[in-house]
Structure 1
């Protein structure tokens, strides 16, 4: 079995987990990016540049800024390009979970990487999770809101109505205690999943060995009343198509004026 590629943090850039009780994160970067074509014909979606930087760097830096010391990244489509890009970073410590031979979807990819993630709760983030930060780090807010006695999963949620580039009906409604319920058929709900969560690894027990969606894990927590949410403080940018990239570029440029 081939050892996973690793890039340790170096020198003064090495991070400690002083700010949060959660030290590891997984970034999902193995998708095909079909909706982003033709850009993704030659560039994997995690390396699409928005605001002058690759999407995956935006995602990794959110975790670094919050004190996360280790990041696992899965790869499948144009994996050599993603690995080369990650190898140029000085921090954090990055380990690649290789899915070259088989795309495992979001849930299956995390399950394959569990030996790297350990037995404690971890962050998971989509490689294209992008937002304009409010006055406080949303990853730190998520970590500080985490209550393992009450929660199995904690999702970062954005406003369905005000998110940029999103025209869907939302994913969840939330009660006053932060517990979530899924959107019913033909209904509009206030919140959409913003692509970042905290998850307990035990939820992956008795899940399929092959590809499956992370929604299976979310629904297990929901059935127990242990799927919770935290509203994003800032502006979520849904970057799913070439048009959405251009829109996000405009929003970021305006926010920096």
Structure 2
């Protein structure tokens, strides 16, 4: 049985321009939804999945994120500093590779999260991972079980989990901002800014991009008016999920 990843990359360096004016004074990952920062939603899911080290990249108001995670032990947070220049999703990962190690690791976006229904989704993702046939395994959401998503679908999934671009096909699924990747993917990667999307397409071309449909409710928060919708979705999902941790509440968001 494949061991669950013990390291993770949390992409938290973005500017959060669509979240203004809230992000005029704070980074988007520290916006709170139901009393918990977006960043902590992701880090808590990683801790539950057994991750012991999470690399968090920072660029915009980096000191606020550094201070916020300073006392965290589960997972232990290592900061990847992009203060001088944003490196985009893949560039940020390449920059952090020395901390991520030589084994497969999770990638989690810091502006999306989910409420599990049943087994934790990151644990399910690890069980679905097969390094012999995959370079990337994406967690995918049904658009009907999503809040805050304004676009179409991203991928069509074959019966064996293999993915291809959906080009908006309603039968497709949405990338839910969590994945497992093998570091060999970045062996010859450039050091500058570039996106993960190119790696998704390269893996499709070689038949090595796979997906897993998540269980539960997926939430993305792009603009200030999405916050109350997200909090309502959290409350509704928790009410339907007896396995959800009891400490999660629908407390008012703090924007200070």
Asked if TM exceeds 0.5, the reply is yes
Query: Which residue of structure 2 aligns with residue 51 of structure 1?
Result: 34
Alignment partner of 2:225: what SS?
Answer: helix
> Shift of residue 162 of structure 1?
3.3
**What number of residue pairs does the alignment pair up?**
238
- Matched residue, 1:194: 176
- 2:210 corresponds in structure 1 to 228
Q: Residue deviations 1:218-242, cap 9 Å, x none?
A: 1221111010000010011121111
1:67-216 equivalent positions in 2, closer than 5 A: 67-184=50-167, 187-216=169-198
- CA RMSD after TM alignment: 1.4
Displacement, 1:72?
A: 0.6
Q: SS state of the match for residue 72, structure 1?
A: strand
The superposition leaves residues 91-117 of structure 1 with CA deviations (integer Å, 9 ceiling, x where unpaired) of 221110000001000000000000111
* Superposition TM-score, scaled by structure 1 size: 0.89
**Are 1:20 and 1:140, in contact at CA under 8 Å, matched by a contact in 2?**
no
Q: Select 1:240's aligned residue among 203, 206, 222.
A: 222
Unaligned runs of 5+ in 1: 1-18
Asked if the contact 2:8–2:53 (Cα under 8 Å) also holds between the matched residues in 1, the reply is yes
User: Match of 1:161, SS?
Assistant: helix
TM-score normalised by L of structure 2:
0.89
Pick from 224, 236, 239: which aligns with 1:254?
Answer: 236
Give 1:20 shift: 4.3
SS of 1:242's equivalent in the other structure is coil
Helix, strand or coil: the match of 1:222?
helix
Q: 1:40-69 CA deviation, whole Å, 9 max, x = no partner?
A: 111101100001011101100101011111
- Cα deviations by residue, 1:136-161 (Å, 9 ceiling, x for unpaired): 10000001110111111000000123
- The match for 2:24 among 41, 55, 79 is 41
Conservation of the 8 A alpha-carbon contact between 1:160 and 1:168 = no
Q: Quick one: distance in 1 between partners of 2:66 and 2:37?
A: 13
- Please give the alpha-carbon distance, in whole angstroms, between the structure 1 residues aligned to 2:62 and 2:171: 36
Query: Is the CA contact 1:20–1:67 (under 8 Å) kept in the aligned structure 2?
Result: no
Which residue is equivalent to 2:201?
Answer: 219
Return the alpha-carbon distance in structure 1 between the equivalents of residues 19 and 80 of structure 2: 23
Kept in 1, the 8 Å contact 2:4–2:50? The answer is no
Q: Name the CA distance, whole Å, in 2 between partners of 1:245 and 1:20.
A: 36
The answer to whether the Cα contact below 8 Å between 1:173 and 1:191 also exists between their aligned partners in 2 is yes
Residue 21 of structure 1 is matched in structure 2 by 4
Asked if the contact 2:10–2:56 (Cα under 8 Å) also holds between the matched residues in 1, the reply is yes
